[in-house]
Structure 1
Amino acid sequence: MGLSIFATILVLAVVLAAGTAKGRRWFERNYRHGIKMTKAVMIAGTGLVAWNALCAFLPHPPWASDLCIATTLLFVVIAAATVERFRIRPMAVKDRRVILAIGAHPDDLEIACGGTLAKLVDAGHEVHTLVMSHGAVGGDVQLRPGEARNGASFMGVTGVQVCNLPDTNLAAHTNELVAVIEARINEVKPDMVFTHSENDHHQDHHAVHLATLRAARRHSSILCFESPSATRRFNPAVFVDIEDYLDVKVHAVAQHKNQAGKPYMGADSVRGVAAFRGAQAKQRFAEGFEPVRMLGSSIAGL
């Protein structure tokens, strides 16, 4: 009975840990197929808890206890092997870089380069994000800044700044855009800057692109990412393999619950774009970037 009670407590602890919001978030951020893993652990673990409880507190033949304990040990071994198999293993780099990613709206960075930013974080680089507006026109202004911080936190970003320049009218505030970006560049001193592409239909995205080029006019490495509103002229020449980070990107985008009804926010859309860029890069999944200019040493670890 003692071993059955111990096994019950052990498996119950695993199930409870996986079922908490923090537990689910940990699986989503650190594992491929994190949601599926969490569900599998909870389903199998709940069944084992019930079985162990029956063996511990109800009359049963001796072989039932032995089978119960053996099954529990098998569960632990399989769970450990699965955790080992699907854990994301980043490539650690010796030369730590500082990255600054600049987006017009709260969800832009997760959609465009969420996999790359998370990969950079895991490789040991210091990543900062700058969001130029609260996205008031496209959603709930009370929620979207917090969702930008949630997305950045999920990716592991060191620092996030959310500004309150007018959504859909950033082009009328070019000098303010440039001043904010310059100040952030001077503050964090990035080795690489990510921003919107010139080839983008959205007026705010285009305005941020131009402002970034002005603010980072002396910077050696600028890459432009792809937004859902990118034109057919968007032509990436730099690709980042995000096969291990595709699920991380999907979950980062999902932090923006206020935008959940928009078609480009769905997991299928995110995966589809990554598959298309991956095919171009001869990989399974990738994110594509247009280089304004790029110093090779600034992107170590990708």
Structure 2
Amino acid sequence: MSVLLLVVLVGTATAAVSGDRTLRRRFRRPRSLQVATVAAALVLVPANAWPAGPGGAAVTLVATVVALSGVAGLGYALRIPAVPARLPRQVLAIGAHPDDLELACGGTLVRLVDSGHEVHVLVMTRGERGGDAATRAGEAAAGARFVGVTSVEVLDHPDTLLATAENAMAEAIDRAIRRHRPDIVFTHSANDHHQDHRAVHAATLRAARCHPAVLCYESPSATSSFRPTVFVDIGEQLDAKIGSVAVHRDQRAKPYVDGRRLRALAAFRGGQGRVDHAEGFEAVRVPAPLFEDGDR
């Protein structure tokens, strides 16, 4: 029995170290869970291998069971619960570049997915001016898988020159709206220094001119004129958001992908929204509540 518990403990510690992506997606404060699991393994693996003194094996067995129970209890307490929505909605999230959505509204998208809503992602460029196009397109798909979205489409409009493709983008967005029939559309804000972000905002408003629910998210390049009036509590999803941004390794040298900055902005918007951590949105048209009673 002691050998079996030893194997379980070593396997759990190995998974905690190597499965960082899964931990970030499914647990709040994943580092705490990693540290607790590895610490338990470092103490109990030698004890199981060489139990000391009379009755040492029995004491080690009890200690191992307690340690495993403690790690399991910590994991349960830190889990990000997924509670299916009573009325699942369709969501369309539109970004200019492969990492825009994770940076700006990744926590909200994680929360929507975990609440049972279907999220569809439309990315306008492969980000070739800011990195390797093939790599970034692949990271867009990987980031979408991390978040758990239902579908992701990466288009090949010219990076940094989206203003020249506004008609084509509006047509692509219109097709996506007709295909997915979203209840909510997320897009860039007009209050943004990046010309591509403003172009996507304009194209979205054209394509969604008859849509009743359009929210604009905050990019790292947002101007001081960005004034959110809708706040989504992402306290339980913040680590997952940071993990989704980390998927975009091609961009890891950029200062705005740093987890400390993401956490600081979420704390600032959380203060405005009267929660610990939040993402803020400007409302073009305010939708029905994003999360009904019972949604997480």
Q: Please tell me the TM-score bracket, short chain as reference.
A: over 0.9
Conserved? CA contact 1:237–1:291, under 8 Å: yes
Instruction: Return the match for 1:27 from 4, 23, 30.
Output: 23
Aligned equivalents of 1:150 and 1:125: distance in 2? 19
Q: CA deviation at 1:47?
A: 3.1
Conserved? CA contact 1:7–1:72, under 8 Å: yes
1:244-272 Cα shifts (integer Å, max 9, x gaps): 11111111111111111111110111011
| 2:207 pairs with 1:209 | no
Aligned equivalents of 1:42 and 1:87: distance in 2? 18
Aligned equivalents of 2:76 and 2:234: distance in 1? 19
Q: CA deviation at 1:81?
A: 1.3
Report the counterpart of residue 110 of structure 1 in structure 2: 102
Conserved? CA contact 2:94–2:188, under 8 Å: yes
Conserved? CA contact 2:36–2:71, under 8 Å: no
SS of the residue corresponding to residue 251 of structure 1 reads helix
SS of the residue corresponding to residue 244 of structure 1 reads coil
| 2:3 pairs with 1:12 | no
Gaps of 5+ in 1: none
Report the counterpart of residue 35 of structure 2 in structure 1: 39
Instruction: Return the match for 2:257 from 250, 259, 265.
Output: 265
Report the counterpart of residue 220 of structure 1 in structure 2: 212
1:28-53 Cα shifts (integer Å, max 9, x gaps): 11110113312331232243222212
Conserved? CA contact 2:98–2:137, under 8 Å: yes
Conserved? CA contact 1:15–1:46, under 8 Å: no
Q: CA deviation at 1:229?
A: 0.8
Instruction: Return the match for 1:49 from 45, 48, 60.
Output: 45
Conserved? CA contact 1:196–1:209, under 8 Å: yes
- In the alignment of these two chains, the number of paired residues is 294
SS of the residue corresponding to residue 237 of structure 2 reads helix
Aligned equivalents of 1:39 and 1:131: distance in 2? 36
Q: CA deviation at 1:91?
A: 4.4
Map 1:125-274; keep pairs closer than 5 Å. Answer: 125-274=117-266
Residues 254 and 61 (structure 1), Cα distance of their counterparts in 2 relative to 1, 3 Å cut: same
- Residue 12 of structure 2 aligns with an amino acid whose one-letter code is V
Q: CA deviation at 1:79?
A: 1.0
SS of the residue corresponding to residue 62 of structure 1 reads coil
Map 1:88-103; keep pairs closer than 5 Å. Answer: 88-103=80-95
Aligned equivalents of 2:284 and 2:186: distance in 1? 10
| 2:64 pairs with 1:72 | yes
- Residue 10 of structure 1 aligns with an amino acid whose one-letter code is V
Aligned equivalents of 1:9 and 1:264: distance in 2? 41
Deviates more, 1:30-39 or 1:287-296: 30-39
* TM-score of the pair, normalised by structure 1: 0.93
Aligned equivalents of 1:39 and 1:164: distance in 2? 42
1:117-173 Cα shifts (integer Å, max 9, x gaps): 000000000001110001111111121011111111111111011111000000011
SS of the residue corresponding to residue 55 of structure 2 reads helix
Deviates more, 1:43-52 or 1:151-160: 43-52
Deviates more, 1:7-16 or 1:187-196: 7-16
Identical pairs, percent: 46
Q: CA deviation at 1:282?
A: 1.0
Aligned equivalents of 2:48 and 2:101: distance in 1? 46
- Residue 228 of structure 1 aligns with an amino acid whose one-letter code is P
* TM-score of the pair, normalised by structure 2: 0.95
Aligned equivalents of 2:207 and 2:183: distance in 1? 14
- Residue 38 of structure 1 aligns with an amino acid whose one-letter code is Q
Q: CA deviation at 1:298?
A: 5.6
- What CA RMSD, in Å, does the superposition of the two structures yield over aligned residues? 1.5
